[in-house]
Structure 1
């Protein structure tokens, strides 16, 4: 269905549904015409059916500049949404929470006494040993980390600021002098139900239950611990022993190293309602006393939210402790800094304006895609650029929805009551942080894809056209190579997992091994870990893999691309003529009209010529200048052939000597054509001879570049040397054969004489 059909169908629809007067109907119809034509003008994919090349060049330039406005607004929104203080805040919390060392009890000294250089210190526990967050390995270490590190940072080193009219619960809690603590600290664990062990009968009397890996069908939802006892009046944190769904906790799912955990679980909000160090310590001691963490725990999450008013950044600190069914505790952490209040700085009007422009462009793109779908139907999915347009449109819509939802949540009455005085866990801010994280991720994807989409409008650049044509030519070969590459990588990953998986952490699973091998290709590898895992198999595996990747596979990629580029070089003129959009005349004409409108064209022309002559001391000319001279000094056929041959090298410089030689050749050719025609009309030359001369002259005038001419002369010289060499070899062969024949004749004569 063509665009004309679309317009007619819309016009017919409007004419049938309209009950207004004929004048109003015609105005509405003309508006429909203009709107549809405007949106169809952005469909630059119709250039194959467009006969007006100049009009199409104007269309491409207009679409390119309008799209660059869209990309520019996206970049402005991204840069204004980011803060240069993110790294410093993350580094501050890592120094005070991750790298800070805290004491552990003497019963666990033996595990690290050999590897840790720190000396033992004496305190209330007796002999102690200092570890940091990454060295946590037991439940006791977790409680010590909560008491010592987190307690020191969030409940001991602080500044109280309170008004006389409010209670202590309404006081502001400062953390590290610059951060405000939002809500309280939350501990959340996920548990599994015990199940029967699949063990030999000889062990079944001693071992009753086993605890599986975490999954949704095996998670525990029943109350546990002292809350199940009849006398539970001494328990203050009753909620910590009861299961809460993800809707009630307000937490999202998390994917760790050993599993994926949903937002449900058993929640303990520490120092709730009374945010003091005493209540925080009492809650920690109660959980530790009644063994809130045990072998049924599969993951523990600690969530903390702070706000830095100096830089307007919320910080979400999350500590994760995973306890797989194989045993052990594996700590990790995540620190995110987000700017939830984005419209309070001096750049808020710029940010709002850019976001409005992005929304306008998104609505426009939706209409354009609808028109393209109506026009192309299922053919729209046969072009890779249409796929990119659809993906770009989906990401833009999702980003707008996430931003609107974030704004509605911030401006909601419920969030308006939330403040820095809140003494419960602020799950609403957690939701906002997740929305902001989604918005940032979508904006990053939108920026990347929109920048890649610029190549769609760059068909006026010869270099980009060559690259695009090369990729199109070798796309099938690259897909075949990709399949072979993945197959070889999977084979090596399986081999690495089986041979090195028990000792090397990077090869503990097939997936990790695949990632490690891919990073090895980029030069990021730990050869010592591979060698230590297996002194014989490790180095052999490593060097075999490197040889396969570098010397075989990568050479194949280079060969595929280089061969395709060379094949394209033989026919690059036809390909470029088919793909190129010549916008140079349009740009020159636009510039000229702009300056002519102010009466400055002649002055600008003189200035440009002066600059060109100043930058070109040799007074060299271009191919465009040569063509300009050829208009008046040569025949039309030679002019057309030269213009076609140098269609994409108009700015190529020609020396003054070559320029004059070309002009002399053209004048001589024109004179020769005139003399030939005069001889023909006077009857001196037969028509057949004239046709033969014209055919020879036409073939002889197939001009080439200076480089091609030099290459041709070099090949002719080599060919002459080859002929001389062949001639010498033939002479040598003749002389040798004559000498041999004479020797044979002499030997025969001697034998005959001897016989006689």
Structure 2
């Protein structure tokens, strides 16, 4: 579940690993070439993962901590994915001079050959033998989670740094490298939160380096001092309510018929959608719990005891937690926890929207709902015209500025950029720098046709319909008899109180 502390836990970890610079000023956020990766790995990464001394240079009693308060769970892991040489074809005009070609990453092009004569597993492709295998979404593509060239760093800073230097010396990264993932998980016993961290370094076929990251803050185990019984009671009640409403809707569908049921009220669509989302949430919650038990029982061993038999208080009392935990894979936990949160967010949104169904007897709310329903056809027709013009401008912006302006580097980005422009969020200087003539023309023409013409047409449709609905409701004296009844009751009650006084 969410709580405000999770944001600050995420922020403090992201600041530590994304914005901490080495002596040359390179951070993971600003890294842009292959050499920058090694600068980060040898400097900010090592300093961030291994806190061995206090600020006064005293030795820390508690080992394997990050920011003094977070424990490393298992060894940090680096995983590399490569593509084969000749995974693309050199143009025939250059085949006599250029003999190698490394494509963008795709699983059919993936290289799994040993790349070093030494008997070093870091240069051998290895499968991840774990329950947790997830593909990784990067900026440039999606990367396989089956395996790769894996390096498990030790929990000792000196040995880990020596390993990094050895990898650099023996060219662990080469022209075929397309992505490197740095995975580690920390646990903060003070607030009972885990942070599953994945730093992603992508090496595109164009050359250079593009970085991205994932910080997923999770609450996986309930505190033994709390009362999880209340959560189980609420969950049970939630399941009972879902079962009740499923039966109720099925009876209504059987009585009215399938299509008449949906034609009788538009709210029925929302009711069915709410039930489906609720059922998905229950399955996600059950599967998430199963994954937690599966991963913990597979990955953790603490003094021979399974993690399934341990509560948070026992974990907090373990001073050498990181030393007792074996190699982990928390990706699945982070992924399913994120999906659970997404489903819960959608369900909460739909539940709030359903409030309109029960306050429609109010005159003002009835005007709003009637206005939207009556002008729906006009808005649909306007929407066709609007999106024709809008997508035309998006395609124009993509073709004009796609090679120079990041916001227009793909058609999808151009669409979202133009949506932001309607809200006043734009970068005119970038367009002008890309093309001093067409940039201003594109900007001004889009503002005129979309913002001044089309948006005002949209408002005019709603405004005219609202005026018609308001006039009709004003002439209908019996429409809101229920509301008048409650008003008369309240007025009589107040008169009685004032009369007694």
What is the TM-score of this pair, normalised by structure 1? 0.58
Match of 1:582 among 457, 475, 482: 482
8 Å CA contact 1:322, 1:330 repeated in 2: yes
What are the Cα deviations for residues 393-413 of structure 1, in whole angstroms up to 9, with x where unaligned?
121111112222233444565
**Please, which of 232, 237, 242 is the counterpart of residue 357 of structure 1?**
237
Match of 2:467 among 566, 584, 587: 566
| Corresponding residue SS for 1:225 | coil
Q: How many Å separate the matches in 1 of 2:199 and 2:233? A: 38
How far apart, in 1, do the equivalents of 2:384 and 2:81 lie? 40
The reply to whether residue 225 of structure 1 matches residue 131 of structure 2 is no
> 2:85–2:176: 8 Å Cα contact kept in structure 1?
yes
Q: Distance in 1 between matches of 2:227 and 2:424?
A: 42
1: CA distance between counterparts of 2:327 and 2:389? 50
- Indicate which of 357, 373, 382 corresponds to 1:456: 357
Q: How many residue pairs align between the two structures?
A: 475
**Contact between 1:269 and 1:424, CA under 8 Å: does it hold in 2?**
no
Q: State how far apart, in whole Å, the 2-side matches of 1:196 and 1:286 are.
A: 28
The 1-side partners of 2:143 and 2:389 are apart by 33
For the pair 1:148 / 2:49, whether they are aligned, the reply is: no
CA contact (8 A) 1:196 1:208 kept: no
Residue 131 (structure 2) pairs with residue 241 (structure 1): no
Q: Distance in 1 between matches of 2:87 and 2:105?
A: 15
Kindly tell me: are residues 242 and 200 of structure 1, through their superposed partners in 2, closer, same or farther at Cα, counting changes over 3 Å? closer
Specify the alignment match of 2:258 in structure 1: 377
**Whole-Å separation in 1 of the counterparts to 2:262 and 2:345:** 25
Q: 1:575 deviation in Å?
A: 7.4
Match of 1:511 among 412, 430, 442: 412
CA contact (8 A) 2:81 2:149 kept: no
Counterpart of 1:328? 208
Residue 282 of structure 2 is aligned to residue 400 of structure 1:
yes
C-alpha distance in 2 between matches for 1:347 and 1:569: 52
Distance between the aligned counterparts of 1:327 and 1:370, measured in 2? 58
Q: What CA distance in whole angstroms lies between the structure 2 residues aligned with 1:574 and 1:553?
A: 33
Stretches of 4+ moved more than 6 A in 1? Answer: 159-162, 586-589
1:136 aligns with 2:26: no
Give the conservation status (yes or no) of the 8 Å contact 2:136–2:144.
Answer: yes
Is 1:497–1:509's contact at 8 Å kept on the other side of the alignment? yes
Deviations 1:79-105 (A, max 9, x none): xx22212232233223322111113xx
Q: Which has the higher contact order (CA 8 A, sep 6+)?
A: 2
Q: 1:290 aligns with which of 170, 195, 207?
A: 170
- CA change 1:157–1:356 in 2 (3 A) is same
Q: CA offset at residue 520 of structure 1?
A: 0.8
Q: How far has the Cα of 1:264 moved from its partner? A: 2.5
Q: Does 1:483 align with 2:384?
A: yes
Please tell me whether the aligned partners of residues 203 and 209 of structure 2 are also in contact (alpha carbons under 8 angstroms).
Answer: yes
Relative distance call for 1:568 and 1:250 in structure 2 (3 A) is same
**Deviations 1:526-564 (CA, angstroms, capped at 9, x unpaired):** 121122111221111111111112211111111100111
Question: Counterpart in 2 of 1:607?
Answer: 497
Coordinate RMSD, CA, aligned: 2.9
CA–CA distance in structure 1, aligned partners of residues 17 and 151 of structure 2: 19
Q: Is the 8 A contact 2:51 2:67 kept in 1?
A: no
Q: 1:100 touches 1:132 (CA, 8 Å); kept in 2?
A: yes
Q: Counterpart of 1:45?
A: none
Cα distance in 1 for residues equivalent to 2:366 and 2:500: 33
Quick check: 1:403–1:439 contact (8 Å CA) kept in 2?
A: yes
Give the conservation status (yes or no) of the 8 Å contact 2:29–2:212: yes
Indicate conservation of the 8 Å contact 1:321/1:331, yes or no: yes
Change (3 A) 1:347 1:572: farther
User: Is this contact kept in 2: 1:186–1:267, CA < 8 A?
Assistant: no
User: 1:329, CA displacement in angstroms?
Assistant: 0.8
- How far apart, in 2, do the equivalents of 1:563 and 1:346 lie? 56
Q: Distance in 2 between matches of 1:472 and 1:86?
A: 41
CA distance change for structure 1 residues 406 and 268 in 2, over 3 Å: closer, same or farther?
Answer: same
Q: Which runs of 5+ in 2 are unaligned?
A: 308-314, 316-320
What is the DSSP-based 3-state SS (H/G/I as helix, E as strand, rest coil) of the residue aligned with 1:300?
strand
- Once structures 1 and 2 are overlaid, which stretch shifts more, 186-195 or 515-524? 186-195
Distance in 2 separating the partners of 1:533 and 1:569? 50
Query: Deviation at 1:151?
Result: 0.8
Q: Is the Cα contact below 8 Å between 2:291 and 2:332 reproduced in 1?
A: no
Q: Residues 432 and 439 of structure 2 are in contact (CA less than 8 Å); yes or no, is this contact kept in structure 1?
A: yes
Kept in 2, the 8 Å contact 1:340–1:433? The answer is: no
How far the C-alpha of 1:249 sits from its partner, in A, is: 7.2
For 1:88 and 1:348, the matched residues in 2 are separated by 24
In structure 2, distance between residues paired with 1:196 and 1:359: 52
Shift of the alpha carbon at 1:258? 1.4
**Which residue, out of 542, 551, 567, partners 2:443?**
542
State the Cα deviation string for residues 257-315 of structure 1 (Å, max 9, x = none).
2112232231424235xx21133123323322332222222222111211111111111
Is this contact kept in 1: 2:26–2:39, CA < 8 A?
A: no
Larger-Rg structure: 1
SS in 2 for 1:184: coil
Aligned to 1:425: 327
**CA shift in 2, pair 1:202/1:469, >3 Å:** closer
Residue pair 2:51, 2:65 contacting (<8 A) in 1 also:
no
Q: Distance in 2 between matches of 1:350 and 1:187?
A: 41
- Going from structure 1 to structure 2, the CA distance change for 1:193 and 1:371 (only over 3 Å counts) comes to farther
Segment drifting more, 194-203 vs 362-371: 194-203
Distance 2:202 2:247 in 1: 49
Matches within 5 A, 1:22-171: 81-103=1-23, 129-157=24-52
TM-score w.r.t. structure 2 length?
Answer: 0.86
Whole-Å separation in 1 of the counterparts to 2:450 and 2:196: 41
